[in-house]
Amino acid sequence: MTEPARPITIYVDADACPVKAEVYRVAERCALKVYVVSNSAIQIPKSPLIERVLVGSNADAADDWIAERVSRGAIVITADVPLAHRCVRAGADVISPTGRALTDASIGMALATRDLMADLRSAGQVTGGPKPFQPRDRANFLSALDLAVVRLKRDGFGGATGIA
């Protein structure tokens, strides 16, 4: 008798996440548990697979809640590079809302770029923020999320009920 697949769980750093609706659709289609973690109340669909987690108002409360729970088999959706770094180190798959997968190979460069941009902003050299979110970003995100789910299922992880 084979042991049931370990579940795939999605954690959404939700306060400023523009792809929550896409996560909900993929979660329902693939029967994946989703934790929508935020500092403020966010509307979520009525589904036993989707759970809202309201954390304290501390700036790092959502990051800490997510980072303390992730491991291999988790998918984290975040644009926060330090949170992504913590989650990659824990073995989770991390995807930005624009569809960029953050991995062991890319997280160092992402941290360095973040720090450089912070330095340039504080020196007044850069005054703008990130590029506006585009429809192409949404398509890239869906593709990256589907790839992560397929890869995890191939590695023995399954839906919320443990069914692959």
8 Å CB contact between 9 and 74: yes
8 Å CB contact between 47 and 21: no
Q: How far apart are the first and last CA of the chain?
A: 15
Q: What is the pLDDT along the chain (164 residues), one digit of tens a residue?
A: 455 578 999 999 998 899 999 999 999 999 999 999 999 999 999 999 999 999 998 889 999 999 999 999 999 999 988 999 999 999 999 999 999 999 876 765 655 565 565 666 677 766 666 678 899 999 999 999 999 999 999 999 987 754 44
How many Å apart are CA 157 and CA 51, to the nearest integer?
20
pLDDT at 135: 92
Q: Mind listing the pLDDT tens digit for each residue in 4-31?
A: 578 999 999 998 899 999 999 999 999 9
Name every residue whose Cβ is closer than 8 Å to that of residue 141 and which is 6 or more positions away in sequence: 19, 22, 95, 96, 97, 98, 99
**Exposed (0-12), middle (13-18) or buried (19+): which is 52, by Cβ within 10 Å?**
middle
Helices (H), 56-162: 61-67, 81-89, 104-122, 135-154
8 Å CB contact between 11 and 33: no
Task: Report all structural domains of the chain as residue ranges with CATH numbers, in order of start.
Answer: 6-155 (3.40.50)
Helix or strand or coil: residue 111?
helix
Q: Mind listing the pLDDT tens digit for each residue in 57-69?
A: 888 999 999 999 9
